[in-house]
Amino acid sequence: MSTAAKPGPDAAAHRRTGVVLLPGHDEHDTGDHPENSARIDAVVDSLVSGPDWDSFEVLEARSAEVADIARVHTRAHIDLIHDYSVSGPNWVDGDTLVSPGTFGVTMRASGAAMAAVDAVTGADRPAGRQRPDSLFCLIRPPGHHATADRAMGFCMFNHAAVAARYAQEELGVERVAILDWDVHHGNGTQDIFESDPSVLFVSLHQWPLYPGSGWLDETGAGEGRGLTVNLPMPPGSGNFEYLDAFDRVVGPVLEEFGPGLLIVSAGQDGHIADPLSSQALTVAGFDALALRSALLAHRLGIGLVAVHEGGYNIETLPALDHAVLAGFSGIPTGRFDRLSGPRGSTADRGDPVGWEPRIDQVLKAQKPFWGRVLEG
């Protein structure tokens, strides 16, 4: 069982958070595809009309340059997305649709993540102007399935990876940690950084599920050995299982790594009502994941950038994204759903098959690299 101290309801109070908006994202026109413009529109409309909007810092995306994308993607891949977009609509693969506006939108989506990095590190503001502690990039299309040379899973460019390399090469951040809680494994992010000792990748994802990667034995390669940490969550996992995994593995490993920046691939498709998964997370669960992440960044004295990944139930996504922002800042969400327990608690247990054996497997796989900080 988890022995980590649980944050109380006001543990992240007075932390500054906000959003980076992506005007014109509907130019990436996917029609009635599950990844469509209504997702982000619903979130933004809900936030703007809600009680917390005036407390958020609000930025707008800028466009990344080709050189920014080329830090993590091949020029051939960038050219392919450009050419498919210009001649679109085209299917890059069986899941991934591009339209004439896609190239520009996905360049701005990566630029939004870069703008967030500038803000949380203070690189975009004069001395004396307060920086936000965290920012949530409300962007589409998602990015974490995009490998260096392949678009897949609705993703063209890997925004988290672009932001990480930008922070390192332009702002001098030596070590970056990427936490991915999207229900699907971030195979693209893993692929890009698996041999890189300066980037830690930690993923909580349903397994088995698309894209089929992210098993326990995928722990990195070469100089990056031990810096890929996969937690394949059994179907039916809920708040208890995810927060148990965070407290016993994710938090200790991230803190031990000591990054200069934390990037979260924030996909809310592990919610119990999402059509593309079989997990049982609730609004309270996402609030608690965000709260734990914010407290960890606070302890390390670093900024936190979240980039929007999945989440495909338009009826529930606004409340889930609001909960993420609430967790980052400490504001009350006011939107806990029927399975929610006290804020920050692990009380809501899902119905997974074999959680205790699975967490034991995770601990065994990671102990050769992180044994000093892992319990059990």
> What positions carry a catalytic annotation?
145
Please, are residues 20 and 61 in contact by the beta-carbon 8 Å criterion? yes
97-131 CB burial, b ≥16 within 10 A, e <16: bbbbbbbebbbbbbbbbbbbbbbbbebeeeeeeeb
Distance CA 175, CA 194 (A): 14
Cis peptide before 232 (omega within 30 of 0): no
Length of the chain: 376
Cβ-based burial of 363 (10 A; exposed 0-12, middle 13-18, buried ≥19): middle
Distance CA 304, CA 307 (A): 10
Distance CA 369, CA 376 (A): 14
Cβ-based burial of 69 (10 A; exposed 0-12, middle 13-18, buried ≥19): buried
Distance CA 13, CA 330 (A): 4
Distance CA 131, CA 124 (A): 9
264-295 CB burial, b ≥16 within 10 A, e <16: bbbbbbbbbebebbbbbbbbbbbbbbbbbbbb
Distance CA 194, CA 220 (A): 5
**Strand order from edge to edge, sheet including 261-266:** 57-60, 18-21, 134-137, 303-308, 261-266, 176-180, 199-206, 228-233
